[in-house]
Amino acid sequence: MKKPELLAPVGTFESLHAAIRAGADAIYFGVEQLNMRTKSTPTITIEDIAEIAKVCQQHGIKAYLTLNTVMYDHDMQLASRIIRECKTHGIDAVIASDYAIFAMCREFGMPLHISTQANVSNIESVSFFAPMADVIVLARELTIKQVAHITSEVQRRNLKGISGDLIKIEAFVHGALCMAVSGKCYMSLHEKNASANRGACVQNCRRPYKVTDLETGNELVIDDEYIMSPKDLCTIDFMDQMIEAGIDVFKIEGRSKSAEYTYVTTKCYREAIDAVLDGSYNPEKITYWLSELEKVYNRGFWGGYFMGKKLGEWSKDPGSVATEKKVYIAKCTRYFPKIKVAEFTIESGQTNTGDTLLILGRNTGADKITLTELVVNGSKGSIAKRGDKITFPFESVLRPGDKLYKMVTSDA
Amino acid sequence: MPKIIHYRNKCIGCNICYESQPEYWRLSRKDGKATLIGAKLKKETYILEIPECDVEASKTTAEHCPTKVIKVSV
Ligand code: SF4
């Protein structure tokens, strides 16, 4: 079995470091207004490309830049500046779906991945794109059998990408799905003039709708469900089959989500992939990963189209049904690298031993710890309140200013 | 005098303002964002005084901007 690359979503520097900490093999991010999460993410700018490339190179992981919106004539200069910047700083590839971007990548010698926005759904399309790209992200609407057929045909036909290696096949393994075929949704554009294909989706599909009989004026609420809002994709319970299907890159969706989402999803899929490969993948582990994944942003899970189900699993809520939320409690004041101890000052609420804590920071990313021992103002204790200084052992480096949150149950 | 205010940083260059009022807007080829023609820059926002007769049309443009980065003050 070949080991797939795990590709994590990055929308901020926090999530970049969270992805690295959680064991991603590669990350993807967008800059300025030419990516599909323009409206919802605090935008990373063209100036940040250098730092992102450097951080990824230092940690030995790959970095890909998405440039996959609909492109207009007035976007060409910016797009070409972005690609040149990627080339200069050694970003590993650009993910695109517009022919102008394909041409620019060729001109600048920039490796290219074909975005899911291009809807590649069959081997002939793969074969068409292969000579210009290294990776092809499949449409999200394929079954696992269809995907396996594509990957085996790549081998049989010996389809090579532009680099001379076999063309790689990428698929989404986790995150939001859309009621429309990848990249073909015009609902937000029709209703709010906000084009999803320019990264401005207003997510109006995520709301409940009524059907009105125009003749009688009678209104029907359909099944109490959000009939245009599919549940989120989750494949962790059939990771073994996903790996057997020969997919080269496993992508997690969620560039507009939080750093802890990136951390938890990446960590779970890292462990699941490794478990399949070392033979320790089992039902207990799956139950544990599912419970971890449920703690962060999600609309409920289903296996997507991979298992050949018809589109029929709709969410029951307008937003996330995450089982945990974070409450801010303290700020990092020091880290003692020799003894590996972190010091925090409590600024709000309190914490006890036994609490699960989340640490977030721009250059730290995200990390979780369950407090087993606690030192409050220099002596052993079990409760710390506002104004107290707490210290606890922590393996990896933290930085002054990093924030500490307590994880509590969502409906509390 | 009424004004159009453009918070340009968050513009996504979708082209709608130009389609609706080409006399006031163009799309910059340099950075792909909309430019409010002749506007003055004040603390990261662009401001342009407009005649009373253009207020209604400008409000419609502002309403249609998907990122709501256009405001009309009267
Ligand atoms: S309508 Fe708004 S977002 Fe679109 S180009 Fe004009 S100012 Fe920018």
- Going along chain A from its start, the domains and CATH numbers come out as 5-178+229-302 (3.20.20.70), 324-409 (2.40.30.10)
Look at residue A221 and tell me whether its pLDDT is greater than 70.
no
**Nearest residue (CA) to ligand 1, atom 8:** B11
The secondary structure of chain B in percent helix, strand, coil, rounded to multiples of 5, reads 30, 30, 40
> Do A195 and B14 count as a contact with CB atoms less than 8 A apart?
yes
> Do B66 and A39 count as a contact with CB atoms less than 8 A apart?
yes
Confidence class of residue A196 from pLDDT cuts 50, 70 and 90? confident
Least CB–CB distance from B30: residue in A77, A192, A193: A77
Distance A340 CA to ligand 1 centre (A): 50
Residues from chain B contacting residue A32 (CB–CB below 8 Å)? 31-32
| pTM, two decimal places | 0.84
| Beta strands A232-234 and A301-302, pairing class | parallel
Per-residue pLDDT of A241-265, as tens digits, reads 999 999 999 999 999 888 999 999 9
Confidence class of residue A9 from pLDDT cuts 50, 70 and 90? very high
Residues from chain B contacting residue A200 (CB–CB below 8 Å)? 12, 14, 66-67
Query: Which string of b and e fits A322-354 if b means at least 16 CB within 10 Å?
Result: bbbbbeebbbbeebeeeeeebbbbbeeeebeee
Per-residue pLDDT of A82-108, as tens digits, reads 999 999 999 999 999 999 999 999 999
Higher pLDDT, A310 or A47: A47
CB contacts < 8 A (A, B): 54
Residue A310: the pLDDT is: 55
Per-residue pLDDT of A379-407, as tens digits, reads 888 889 999 999 998 888 999 999 999 98
E strand segments, A163-254: 168-175, 210-212, 219-221, 232-234, 249-252
| Residue A9, strand partner residues | A28
Confidence class of residue A412 from pLDDT cuts 50, 70 and 90? very low
Q: How far is CA A12 from CA A52, A91, A290, A359, in A?
A: 10, 17, 25, 15
Q: Is A77 on the interface with B (CB under 8 A)?
A: yes
CB neighbourhood size of A90 (10 A): 13
CA dist A311 and A15 (Å) reads: 31
Which token pair is A407? 């994880």
Per-residue pLDDT of A134-190, as tens digits, reads 999 999 888 999 999 999 999 999 999 999 999 999 999 998 877 767 667 777 777
Contact A78, B31 (CB under 8 A): yes
Residues from chain A contacting residue B28 (CB–CB below 8 Å)? 74
Higher pLDDT, A298 or A36: A298
> Do B66 and A75 count as a contact with CB atoms less than 8 A apart?
no
Distance B33 CA to ligand 1 centre (A): 7
> Do A74 and B28 count as a contact with CB atoms less than 8 A apart?
yes
Q: What sign does the CA torsion over A335, A340, A341, A347 have? A: positive
Which token pair is A15? 């999530």
CA dist B22 and A67 (Å) reads: 27
How large a percentage of chain A has pLDDT more than 90? 58
CA dist A397 and A401 (Å) reads: 13
Q: Is A82 on the interface with B (CB under 8 A)?
A: no
CB neighbourhood size of A310 (10 A): 6
> Do B16 and A193 count as a contact with CB atoms less than 8 A apart?
yes
CA of residue A193 relative to chain centroid, distance: 26
Residue A140: the pLDDT is: 87
Higher pLDDT, B20 or A40: B20
Q: Is B11 on the interface with A (CB under 8 A)?
A: yes
Across the range A55-61, mean pLDDT stands at 97
Q: Find tokens 């089982």 and name the residue.
A: A323
Low-confidence residues in chain B, pLDDT < 50 = none
Q: Is B27 on the interface with A (CB under 8 A)?
A: yes
Contacts of A81 (CB under 8 A, 6+ apart): A46
CA dist A31 and A343 (Å) reads: 35
Distance A391 CA to ligand 1 centre (A): 49
Across the range A123-130, mean pLDDT stands at 97
> Do A78 and B65 count as a contact with CB atoms less than 8 A apart?
no
Q: Which of A298, A142, A183 is nearest to A230 (CA)?
A: A298
Least CB–CB distance from B64: residue in A32, A78, A193: A193
Contact A8, A26 (CB under 8 A): yes
- Domain extents for chain B? 3-73
Higher pLDDT, A283 or A300: A283
> Do B32 and A32 count as a contact with CB atoms less than 8 A apart?
yes
Residue A202: the pLDDT is: 77
Residue A225: the pLDDT is: 64
Q: Mutual orientation of helices A13-21 and A259-278 as an angle, nearest 10°?
A: 20
Instruction: Determine the residue of chain A that is closest to B34 in CA distance.
Output: A74
CA dist A330 and A10 (Å) reads: 25
**Mean pLDDT value across chain A:** 89
Distance B51 CA to ligand 1 centre (A): 21
> Do B66 and A202 count as a contact with CB atoms less than 8 A apart?
yes
Residues from chain B contacting residue A38 (CB–CB below 8 Å)? 12
Q: Is A193 on the interface with B (CB under 8 A)?
A: yes
**Nearest residue (CA) to ligand 1, atom 4:** B14
Query: Which CATH fold would you assign to the domain B3-73?
Result: Alpha-Beta Plaits (3.30.70)
Residue A302: the pLDDT is: 79
Residue A162: the pLDDT is: 95
Residue A312: the pLDDT is: 53
Across the range A51-71, mean pLDDT stands at 95
CA dist A76 and A407 (Å) reads: 45
Could you report the predicted ipTM of this complex, rounded to two decimals? 0.76
Which token pair is A261? 């989402």
Residue A20: the pLDDT is: 96
Distance A198 CA to ligand 1 centre (A): 11
Residue A246: the pLDDT is: 96
Distance A372 CA to ligand 1 centre (A): 52
Q: Is B28 on the interface with A (CB under 8 A)?
A: yes
